[in-house]
Structure 1
Amino acid sequence: MDKLNIRAAAPADADKAARLIYEAIHDIAFQLTGETTEEDALQALSELFLQEGNRFSSKQILVAEVEGNAAGIILCYHGSEADRLDAPIAARLRKRTGNPNPPIDKEADEDEYYIDSIAVFSEYRGRGIAKALLAAAEKAGAALGYGRIALNVEYGNEGAERLYRSIGYEADKTITINNSLFHHMIKPLTNLS
């Protein structure tokens, strides 16, 4: 494999990170941005990436680089931070849609380090980049003293579910996000330090 570097996201990553987040969350991007077109959702995600204090902020993102090019991202935060990180999203949605109570589904449990999004550009897939990003997130969560890491995988996404199971994630429940069913999968972090 080409030289892989995993680093903290930087402002220059905004457009690529927005594209990868959009690829990871698909229609959830419309729910969380209040936008109705892919172009507008990408613009909103890019703007949110550049702002601190929300779930899509660069502060929550690691970038996988191959030969200096952004190849993939992983976006993580602790479940206990979800309400705080979603507050600016809700404020933006209220302003954008006029809905005083915009729907934001609870994705993370309060006691877990949560992988909100992971995606790798198609031309870099099959090189172990997703596994490397997952390992980096697990290491970060363990270093912060968290006991478990979690993610959600949509029903029917067997390839992703197989990958997660192969590295120790197990489904513990079903949740609904934007009217779709997801397997909530967890992995203990206590043995990773």
Structure 2
Amino acid sequence: MEIRPARPEDAPLVVPLFIQAMDDIASTLAGSEQPHEVQAFMTTFFQLPGNRLSYQNTLVAEEDQQVVGVLILYHGNQAAALDQPIIARLRELKNDPNITLDKEAEEDEWYIDTLSVSPRYGGRGIGTALLRAAEEHTSSGGPTKIALLVDKNSQRAYRLYQHLNYQQDAVVQISHHPYLHMTKNLGGV
């Protein structure tokens, strides 16, 4: 298995994994519940620089020359700026200048926005490998904190994160659904 930075041309293989992981959040970001509209939105924003869904923030895991897993990662102090293009699109689409997005990342942490593995490749350590690659990327600058959200009902994912020393420190609401905020200190913090 190889883990590498995503490229814009990865969109057809990456976007379905984004949607699989994000579920209702994908519809919120797209401003639509229509699958083809969600797919089109995700594809467009993945291929564009400067937003939270961009290929620039994405790592992919490849096996057998196929993308089998993805992880979106960015620093929390960039989250507001990365959300701006999506908010601007939603405000225009819905003709509502007051639309905002729920805050997911804290200013003092690296944030794993999305982690998704193809169901056909589950149980092979791909998610763990992507998490370790993200941790390696974030810890290169010294002591830091990395965080993620996990669906309150996803016990399998929760156990994986606990096994990798992530600790729950809060419960947050995203798109009217509770998520557990979990963090891990890296580099001696």
With normalisation by structure 2, the TM-score equals 0.97
Question: Could you tell me how far apart the structure 2 residues matched to 1:77 and 1:83 are?
Answer: 11
CA contact (8 A) 2:9 2:47 kept: no
Match of 2:119 in 1: 122
Opposite residue 25 of structure 2, the aligned amino acid is: I
Stretches of 4+ aligned residues off by more than 2 angstroms: none
Alignment of 1:123-162 (within 5 A): 123-145=120-142, 147-162=144-159
CA contact (8 A) 1:31 1:103 kept: no
Are 1:21 and 2:56 counterparts?
A: no
In the other structure, the counterpart of 2:74 is 77
Q: TM-score, normalised by structure 1?
A: 0.95
Counterpart residue identity of residue 117, structure 2? V
Residue aligned with 1:72, SS: strand
Equivalent residue for 1:50, pick from 47, 63, 74 = 47
User: Which residue of structure 1 aligns with residue 184 of structure 2?
Assistant: 187
Question: Would the aligned equivalents of 2:168 and 2:181 in 1 still touch at CA under 8 Å?
Answer: yes
Percentage identity across paired residues of the two chains: 40
Q: How much has 1:103 moved relative to structure 2?
A: 3.1
Does the 8 A contact of 1:176 with 1:182 survive in 2? yes
How many residues are aligned here? Answer: 189
Cα distance in 2 between the residues matched to 1:24 and 1:36: 15
Q: Which moved more, 1:35-44 or 1:151-160?
A: 35-44
1:35 to 32, 37, 51: 32
Q: How far is the alpha carbon of 1:145 from its aligned partner?
A: 3.7
Q: What whole-Å deviation, never above 9, does each CA across 1:34-76 have from its counterpart, x for those lacking one? A: 1221221011001000111000000000000002110010000
C-alpha separation in 1, matches of 2:176 and 2:100: 11
Distance 1:156 1:103 in 2: 25
Residue identity opposite 1:182 in structure 2? Y
Deviates further, 111-120 or 144-153: 144-153
In 1, the alpha carbon distance for the partners of 2:2 and 2:30 equals: 30
Q: Is the Cα contact below 8 Å between 1:63 and 1:72 reproduced in 2?
A: yes
What's the secondary structure of 2:4's corresponding residue?
strand
Q: 1:64 aligns with which of 42, 49, 61?
A: 61
CA deviation after TM superposition for structure 1 residue 173, in Å: 0.6
Partner residue, 2:91 = 94
Which residue of structure 1 lines up, in the alignment, with residue 104 of structure 2?
107
| Per-residue CA distance 1:67-102 (angstroms, 9 max, x = gap) | 211001000000000000000000110111112122
What are the ranges of 5 or more consecutive residues in structure 1 without an aligned counterpart? none
> Following TM superposition, by how much is the alpha carbon of 1:11 offset from its aligned partner in structure 2, in angstroms?
1.4
